A and B are shown apart, each in its own frame.
Chain A
Amino acid sequence: MEIKAEEYQVWHDRTNATVHLQGFLRLKGIEEYQPIMDILVSAVETSSSLTMNLQELEFLNSSGISMLSMFVVKVRQRGNVQLTLHGTDKILWQTKSLKNLQRLMPSLTLHFS
């Protein structure tokens, strides 16, 4: 599953149970984020662990962080999926917001590079 647009790219690497998000995500509202949410939900349905690679996601707007928050809550409610977020401390928003996502799901693992 893959979404490729001019400013961003999202794809699911099944072999490594990883969803990669790259570029500038500035979609309008939760509805426009639904295709990305679908990729994420289907990824946790097929695996007991999932890594989200955000290292090259330079920008994520408020609707995007909202979608990500709701996804984290969904994963927590499933109760049987180990979720890992792989970010970078070179991108300012990641240093703040990813830690906040961990508050929604304390078992979530955070990796900064």
Chain B
Amino acid sequence: MEPKTQTEIREQQFLAELEQLRQENQRLRQINQDLRISLLTTAEHGDTIEAELHETNLKLKAEVVERIRAESTLQALVEMILQQKDDLEKIVQTIMEHGDVLDVQWENKLLEVSHLANCDSLTHIANRRRFDEYLDQQWQQMGRSRLPLSMILCDVDHFKRYNDTYGHLQGDRCLQKITQALSRQLNRTTDLLARYGGEEFAVVLPQTALAGALQVAEKLRTTIRHLQIPHIQSETDSVITISLGVACVVPILHTPSAVLVEQADRALYLAKQHGKDQVMVLPEAERLSV
């Protein structure tokens, strides 16, 4: 075989290089195409993700706005409920305290009415009703304890004449002065002075024997005399005087207390008969057994 010439060798080398370059070119083209596809794919993928993110973002923003709105509504609702709770607590407290104060108001009213029911409006001492009640009460109590119960019945002497002479207003003032003077002489809390009738007064003296009751009666008589209330038409003296009947008994349970009043009344009658301005007690034979 004829040896290749230098030129041929070079040509062959050139062709080989060419082939190599062609293949390289082909490879690079392929890579280029792959990269283009890859870039396109990445770009498209990015766009999709971006769109998705954008959409999600919008949704989140809307959600945040909605949540802020809901939160504000909830806050307003909570404030309203708190205000209502506060109002209700205050209303409950108001009603409760109102109930308590009404109780006190009723009680005061009851005390006032009860005082009026037991009080004489002119002299402000116990009235006949209170006297009867108290006498019965003490009658039972002294009866149970076997202790003496005394009472004094007193009457202003010639009081009708006093009224006729000085007028009824002056008569009322005279009764008020007498009441005040009598009250001042009765110091024990258990003693009760009552207006028994027009110008009649009664005194209940629990745990008091006849001697003590007579002493009290005499003190009452002199006290009124010492008031020196002028009474020019009196047949007894020139001043107001009183007559007093005293009675005393150890009450027997289940018998009426009226017997004591009846005894005092009869003693008062005696005092009047014997010239007034004096203290009388029934003769021993006529007294209730003690």
Interface residues of A (CB under 8 A from B): 59-62, 65-66, 69-70, 73, 91-93, 95-97, 100-101, 103-104
With beta carbons under 8 angstroms apart, the residue of B87, B91, B93, B101 that contacts A93 is B101
Q: Which residues between 210 and 251 of chain B lie within 8 Å of chain A, taking CB atoms? A: none
What residues of chain A lie closer than 8 Å to B108, measured between beta carbons? 92
- Asked whether, in the complex, the Cβ of A97 is within 8 Å of the Cβ of B90, the reply is no
- Asked whether, in the complex, the Cβ of B91 is within 8 Å of the Cβ of A104, the reply is yes
Interface string of B97-128 (1 = CB under 8 A from A): 11101101100100000000000000000000
Interface residues of B (CB under 8 A from A): 87, 90-91, 93-95, 97-99, 101-102, 104-105, 108
Given A62-B99, A104-B87, A69:B94 Cβ within 8 A: yes
- Asked whether, in the complex, the Cβ of B87 is within 8 Å of the Cβ of A73, the reply is yes
The 3 closest A-B pairs by CB, nearest first: A100-B94, A65-B98, A69-B91
A101 to B90, CA, bound (A): 8
Can you list 6 A-B pairs, Cβ within 8 angstroms, ordered by A?
Answer: A60-B98, A62-B98, A66-B95, A92-B101, A103-B94, A104-B94
- Asked whether, in the complex, the Cβ of A100 is within 8 Å of the Cβ of B99, the reply is no
Most A Cβ at <10 Å: residue of B91, B94, B102? B94
- Asked whether, in the complex, the Cβ of A100 is within 8 Å of the Cβ of B93, the reply is yes
A73 to B94, CA, bound (A): 13
